[in-house]
Amino acid sequence: MREYIKNNPVKLFFILTFIISWSGILMVANQTGIPASTEQFDKLLPIAMIPYLLGPSIAGFIMIGLTQGKKGFNELFRKLSKWRLGSSIYLITIFTVPILSFVALFILYQFSEVYIPDIVTTNDKTALILS
């Protein structure tokens, strides 16, 4: 079995990703039945999305463990901790999307008040952020 895993890592990665990602949807279907009502689905959607979004990452870690073992994890974390670019590049990367979103909303607001972000118009900002 170990030889098969080492010879077919990509195939097994995609199979694992599929199984992990769809397990959240199957958990929701198991609890609500198929088809679920809109209220049931909306209530359980965050639970279903966790494995759906993390499936490729979890499968990647599993495959590193199966194919390379501890040496593979050490190499991965060594490469992740090595900073090759200056901190200004990372700041630009982090703030580009929020700045572009702000500029786009500001421009759109000039044409219609529909585009005012809720955070600006609401009095209960904490509830909005937590929801």
> How far does CA 124 lie from the centroid of its chain?
28
> For residue 24, is pLDDT > 90?
no
Q: Between vectors from CA 5 to CA 4 and to CA 9, what angle results, nearest 5°?
A: 120
Q: Do 103 and 58 fall into the same domain? A: no
- Sign of the CA dihedral running 108, 110, 115, 118: positive
In whole angstroms, give the CA distance from residue 102 to residue 131: 21
The verdict on 14 and 68 lying in the same domain is: yes
Q: Is the pLDDT of residue 22 over 80?
A: yes
> Are 94 and 123 in the same domain?
yes
Do residues 24 and 52 touch, judged by C-beta distance below 8 A?
yes
96 and 72 fall within a common domain: no
The predicted model gives 102-112 an average pLDDT of 87
- For residues 115 and 105, is the Cβ–Cβ distance under 8 A? yes
pTM above threshold 0.85? no
**Pair (73, 50) in one structural domain:** yes
Query: Does residue 42 sit in the same domain as residue 91?
Result: no
> What percentage of the chain carries pLDDT values higher than 90?
27
Which pLDDT does position 13 carry in this prediction? 94
Q: Which residue range is the domain that position 5 belongs to?
A: 1-82
Mean local confidence (pLDDT), 43-56: 84
